[in-house]
Amino acid sequence: MEVITVLWREFIFFKRRFIKITSSAIMSPLLYLIAFGWGLGQNVTVEGHNYMYFIIPGIIALSTMNTSFNAVSIRINISKIHEKSFQYYLTSPVNIYLLTLGQILAGGLRGMYAAAIILMISYLFGVYIKINLAFIIVCLLNSLLFSAFGYFAAMVINSHYDMNRFTTFVIVPMTFLCGTFFSLDRMPHGVKFLINLLPLTHASQSLRGIALSGELNLISIFVLALYLIAFYFLGVMASFREIE
């Protein structure tokens, strides 16, 4: 029941702010495609593929990360600090496990919505990539795990300043280092090893492999699922600490 209640509340929020949410979901990937696609990638080949085809899966992974993380972390951070309403949810007679799951699912669905928008934009640019069930599963895993990450961050961070700093030092580096816009082949081995530990790297490479080569990396699926489970339980534990 808690899950349905949270999803319904977020659906009402989404419906009321549909234009704002959609326009913000369109702007960043559109700028990326114009700048990196048209501006840089017309005659560039990366890993044997046209650069436009190379970056679309990476932009999808990036946008699902940002959208899912922000949809949960910002909403909860505001309700905790300014509205003082989220504490009522935590202290009311609800199942914390289901409440956390509902918040994560709501953020994950927002991430999937962003992915659908990017695919439509890519079609307008004349870039048609292969979409199958494996592609959708990877997108969903990436959306859910960063939604769970956003929930955990919102539970342990108690100011907007610290949340912005957290985003600067954690989310922004992943944006530019995880193979979204370039191949990792020329990276030093030590740096490449560290980058391959990050979840966005596995999401970008998995989506790219599925879309361009039809290859599914089961190890990356396992890593993404492991991150999702870890962030979920970290969020649950942080919720219990918030109640105490």
Tens-digit pLDDT profile for residues 76-85? 887 777 766 6
Report the chain's mean pLDDT, rounded to a whole number: 86
The encoded tokens of residue 52 equal 């436009």
How far is residue 142's CA from residue 62's CA, in Å, rounded to a whole number?
Answer: 9
pLDDT band at 26 (very low <50, low <70, confident <90, very high): confident
User: What pTM was estimated for this model as a whole?
Assistant: 0.90
pLDDT of residue 68: 94
Please, which residues have CB within 8 angstroms of residue 59's CB and are 6 or more apart in sequence? 29, 32, 33, 118, 180
Dump strand ranges (E) for the chain.
45-46, 49-50
How far is residue 236's CA from residue 30's CA, in Å, rounded to a whole number?
Answer: 36
Please, which residues have CB within 8 angstroms of residue 218's CB and are 6 or more apart in sequence? none
Q: State yes or no: pLDDT of 23 exceeds 80.
A: yes
The model's pLDDT over 159-195, given as tens digits with 9 standing for 90+, comes to 888 888 888 899 998 988 888 888 888 788 888 899 9
